[in-house]
């Protein structure tokens, strides 16, 4: 079965500390998300003031199950940095993947 990618774009709230946001992200990943069924990886991307999370899961079902809600204190801390009016989310099934050979 093909992996799934959950792609989320957003902006941080005005005045949010990027170092604090990245620390909250790291704690959330290491102590919670990475232990969830089907988790593969999480990459955080940035272009100017737009952030993107590229989360890879074993299956689309795993990704969508996780998306249903995370109300842990670690998640609440992470979400406190995000401007939810700017948030966009999309699920993709990996059709084909290319890597550097060798």
Domains defined for the chain, CATH in brackets: 4-93 (3.30.70.100)
Nearest to 3 by CA among 61, 53, 78: 61
CB neighbourhood size of 50 (10 A): 13
CB neighbourhood size of 58 (10 A): 15
User: pLDDT (tens digit, 9 = 90+) per residue, 12-63?
Assistant: 999 999 999 999 999 999 999 999 999 999 999 999 999 999 999 999 999 9
Residue 1 has pLDDT above 70, yes or no: no
Tokens for 23, please give them.
């620390």
Identify the pLDDT of residue 102. Answer: 74
* Half-sphere exposure of residue 4: CA atoms within 13 angstroms, side-chain side: 19
Q: Is the pTM of this model over 0.85?
A: yes
């Amino acid at each position: 079965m093909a992996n799934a990618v959950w792609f989320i774009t957003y902006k941080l709230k005005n005045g949010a500390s990027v170092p604090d946001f990245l620390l909250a992200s790291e704690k959330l990943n290491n102590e919670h998300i990475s232990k969830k069924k089907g988790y593969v990886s999480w990459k955080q991307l940035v272009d100017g003031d737009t952030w993107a999370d590229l989360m890879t899961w074993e299956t689309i079902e795993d990704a969508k199950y996780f998306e249903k809600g995370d109300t842990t204190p670690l998640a609440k801390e992470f979400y406190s940095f995000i401007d939810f009016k700017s948030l966009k989310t999309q699920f993709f099934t990996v059709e084909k993947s290319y890597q550097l050979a060798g």
